[in-house]
């Protein structure tokens, strides 16, 4: 009974820490994005509330808490209230399977740095990630507004288009790790990150996740210039804040997932010839387990900056081209890289030679350059016709 009681207490404490970490991460990710965008666009960014504007997220939270909430008179009120919850809850519970580091010994017991270790972690991620689109669709439908409804329909079509590519891009990860368990995927990258073996698959997964969380240049469901504010046009106050929270929390979780699948997760980012030096051996996670969460944090921050950089530099593409890009380029290309990865693994096992594994990135990059050339040729033709 004591062991069961302590196990429940451990789960509760880890859940509280994870939830508050995500809430704090959401708040200060907004500050991080605004400061980074300001730097890229030669502006200052938030700098009034506290030193370097560090209290700006708190000021924004207080403003949203006390802001008047308006509900359209003819809205379907129960669904209108439920939609933000359906959007934000999956962005939190999806973090349950993310391993932030190796186990540590604390108070005489082994503490795992994750909430759940299931052998189908990838399927859990895919299933929970797909739920949040229901909140967006229901928000658009229940608002009784044509603009919000169009935003919800766009979200549905976009999710279906890119969810398929996102799922297929994970098949090479499963093949390379020979497992769908998150920890097995991380440990399988102890010799080489999967981004080095399958860079095209990592790029497809990155693009699909940008579309999945409605980030620029794939933010069609909330295209301000076209749909006022998209699916949340009729929301205000804390209901709007929940949509805002869901997007930024999903950014953090998606970057953590990308780090796990392609960038070694909590493993050290240094090559073995550096960590094998005696006075640098403490950089290994094997020797210093507490460095695992630190490495994860650094990788997530770098990947978040890449998302912000894309928003600052890439223009929003037209919606029909966005759909064509998903169905005509990403889906066929993701199927081809699955074939290339499976062939390389099969040849490496058949001839007992890992050199065949390094044929996978070469063949994948060659195949990936074909659609790039096709898109470039199409854009040149369009610009020539307009001229």
Res. 261 pLDDT band, cuts 50 70 90: very high
Taking residues 314-319, what's their average pLDDT?
A: 79
Residue percentage of the chain with pLDDT more than 90: 25
**Of the candidate ranges 109-118, 155-164, 320-329, 350-359, the one whose mean pLDDT is the lowest:** 155-164
278: in domain: yes
Residue with tokens 């073995």, as numbered in its chain:
272
- Does 338 score more than 90 pLDDT? yes
Res. 352 pLDDT band, cuts 50 70 90: confident
Res. 113 pLDDT band, cuts 50 70 90: confident
pLDDT attached to residue 340 = 94
pLDDT attached to residue 362 = 92
**Of the candidate ranges 99-103, 155-159, 217-221, 250-254, the one whose mean pLDDT is the lowest:** 217-221
pLDDT attached to residue 194 = 93
- Does 51 score more than 80 pLDDT? yes
Q: Find the domain containing 302 and state its range.
A: 67-316
247: in domain: yes
- Does 195 score more than 90 pLDDT? yes
pLDDT attached to residue 64 = 82
252: in domain: yes
- Does 273 score more than 50 pLDDT? yes
373: in domain: no
353: in domain: no
**What is the total count of domains within the chain?**
1
pLDDT attached to residue 1 = 43
- Does 198 score more than 60 pLDDT? yes
92: in domain: yes
| Contact yes or no for 356/348 (Cβ under 8 A) | yes
For residue range 202-214, what is the model confidence (pLDDT) as tens digits?
999 999 888 888 7
Whether pTM exceeds 0.85? yes
303: in domain: yes
33: in domain: no
- Does 344 score more than 90 pLDDT? yes
Taking residues 323-350, what's their average pLDDT?
A: 90
| Contact yes or no for 182/117 (Cβ under 8 A) | yes
């Amino acid at each position: 009974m004591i062991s069961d009681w302590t196990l429940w207490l451990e789960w509760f404490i880890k859940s509280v820490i994870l939830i508050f970490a995500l809430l704090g991460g959401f708040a200060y990710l907004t500050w991080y994005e605004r400061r980074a965008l300001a730097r890229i666009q030669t502006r200052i960014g938030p700098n009034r509330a506290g030193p370097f504007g560090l209290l700006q997220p708190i000021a924004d939270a207080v403003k949203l808490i006390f802001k008047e909430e308006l509900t359209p008179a003819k809205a379907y009120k129960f669904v209108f209230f439920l939609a933000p919850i359906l959007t934000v809850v999956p962005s939190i519970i999806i973090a349950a399977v993310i391993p932030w580091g190796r186990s540590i010994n604390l108070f005489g017991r082994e503490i795992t740095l994750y909430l759940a270790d299931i052998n189908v972690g990838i399927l859990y991620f895919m299933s929970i990630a797909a739920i949040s689109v229901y909140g967006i669709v229901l928000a658009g439908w229940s608002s009784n507004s044509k603009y919000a409804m169009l935003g919800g329909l766009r979200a549905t079509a976009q999710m279906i288009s890119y969810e398929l590519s996102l799922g297929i891009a994970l098949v090479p990860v499963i093949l390379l790790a020979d497992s769908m368990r998150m920890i097995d995927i991380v440990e399988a990258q102890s010799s080489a990150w999967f981004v080095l073996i399958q860079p095209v698959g990592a790029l497809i997964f990155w693009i699909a996740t940008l579309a999945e969380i409605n980030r620029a240049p794939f933010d069609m469901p909330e295209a301000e210039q076209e749909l006022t504010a998209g699916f949340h046009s009729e929301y205000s106050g804390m209901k709007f804040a929940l949509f805002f929270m869901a997007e930024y929390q999903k950014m953090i979780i998606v970057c953590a997932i990308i780090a796990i699948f392609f960038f070694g997760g909590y493993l050290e980012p240094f090559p073995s010839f550096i960590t094998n030096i005696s006075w640098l051996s403490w950089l290994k996670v094997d020797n210093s387990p507490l460095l695992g969460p630190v490495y994860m944090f650094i990788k997530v921050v770098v990947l978040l900056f890449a998302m912000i950089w894309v928003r600052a530099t890439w223009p929003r593409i037209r919606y029909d081209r966005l759909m064509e890009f998903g169905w005509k380029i990403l889906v066929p290309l993701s199927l081809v890289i699955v074939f290339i990865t499976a062939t390389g693994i099969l040849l490496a096992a058949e001839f007992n030679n890992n050199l065949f594994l390094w044929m996978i990135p070469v063949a994948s990059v060659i195949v990936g350059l074909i659609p790039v050339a096709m898109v470039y040729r199409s854009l040149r033709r369009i610009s020539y016709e307009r001229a």
